[in-house]
Structure 1
């Protein structure tokens, strides 16, 4: 018996063959999608690794500059220098379709194009190390935003790869074998019914032939009997 309940009819057989054909085609498409997703994922992972190393190195340099600035300046002066920023940033998020996966795309723009607007303080009362730290953070902001975008993309691609892999495995190891087994079962049942019908027809034919032969014999016997009776009757000659 197959794993799924089916009616052994020709209509069900035709329906299952159509589903099997569609499932095989879908299985191939899903495998191609999984392979392409893996390729895209590996490219994103390589970019993520390189960009993370760059961001971490830049953050270490910026942190070192802030450490030197905090050693040269007092904590109150450092806090007051960075309390009121002059530059503002607007962040926009759109989506890009990558193999049916909507991944985010981050873009930002500053209110002013003046590079000096990143320093919210006067240069007379601050140290040069603070300028270096602020400049380092300003330069690494775009890479940090790109890193966040890539890490979110890699997460979404990994989830889609896992879902696609499960669908491929479900079709390859469960659905397609079940349908093939059901088709084989229905075909065997139909062949068995056809053989049974053929045997019944042959038996009926033999019975009809036997009855015809018996009837022929009875007619011959009656004819012989009637002809023999006329031979015994002189008047019939």
Structure 2
């Protein structure tokens, strides 16, 4: 970098401005990196706990369906679930976390999940479907948090790279160039002073 820079006071002033800007950027990006790390750790802890809860709910729901299948004839089970009356849709909005757009998911439901008459079914099937409905809420929450974690992790990685470039490349190179220009300007100034003194000696002689 220093080899391609002209040693002038204007260039020195520009480099000092660039160095000051790089240091401010480094400070801000370091703060962003630290906050992203904190948020990511917090979300990851919640995800671990939530994933265990969801896995347990899915397991309980599966067992309820197994009990329902044991108490309802296969053809009755197929007939009961063949015409669903509940409609499910997913609304996705975005919020900003440290300038990262992260999704916020919310379900929209219409109708009742119990879509059959009571004559040929059992209470176990009712409980299984209700359990499945509750599990959906937790699955949506888990999916949103995992997506948030992935987006924040990607942004954190990018921010770390930028901090490292500023810290280990841009700022050191700028400081080194400033030092070299200062040395060259000082050398030129000494040469000028020496030349002026010689001229003064000649004039006095």
| TMscore range, shorter length | over 0.9
Give the TM-score normalised by the residue count of structure 2: 0.95
Deviations 1:183-225 (A, max 9, x none): 0010001001001111111111122222xxxxxxxxxxxxxxx
Look up the match of 1:120: 115
Look up the match of 1:94: 93
Q: Is the 8 A contact 1:66 1:133 kept in 2?
A: yes
Structure 2, unaligned runs of 5 or more: none
Q: Please tell me whether Structure 1 or Structure 2 has the larger radius of gyration of its CA atoms.
A: 1
Question: Do residues 151 (structure 1) and 151 (structure 2) align?
Answer: no
Q: Is the 8 A contact 2:103 2:148 kept in 1?
A: yes
Secondary structure, aligned partner of 1:120: coil
| TM superposition shift of 1:64 | 1.0
Alignment RMSD, CA only?
1.4
Give the TM-score normalised by the residue count of structure 1: 0.82
Deviations 1:92-148 (A, max 9, x none): 111100010000111122224xxxx21111222123222221111111111111111
Look up the match of 2:76: 77
Alignment of 1:102-141 (within 5 A): 102-112=101-111, 117-141=112-136
- Give 2:159's match in structure 1, choosing from 164, 172, 186: 164
Structure 1, unaligned runs of 5 or more: 211-237
Secondary structure, aligned partner of 1:123: coil
Distance 2:198 2:78 in 1: 106
How many residues are paired up? 205
| TM superposition shift of 1:39 | 1.1
Look up the match of 1:178: 173
Q: Is the 8 A contact 2:8 2:181 kept in 1?
A: yes
| TM superposition shift of 1:163 | 0.5
Q: Is the 8 A contact 1:4 1:178 kept in 2?
A: no
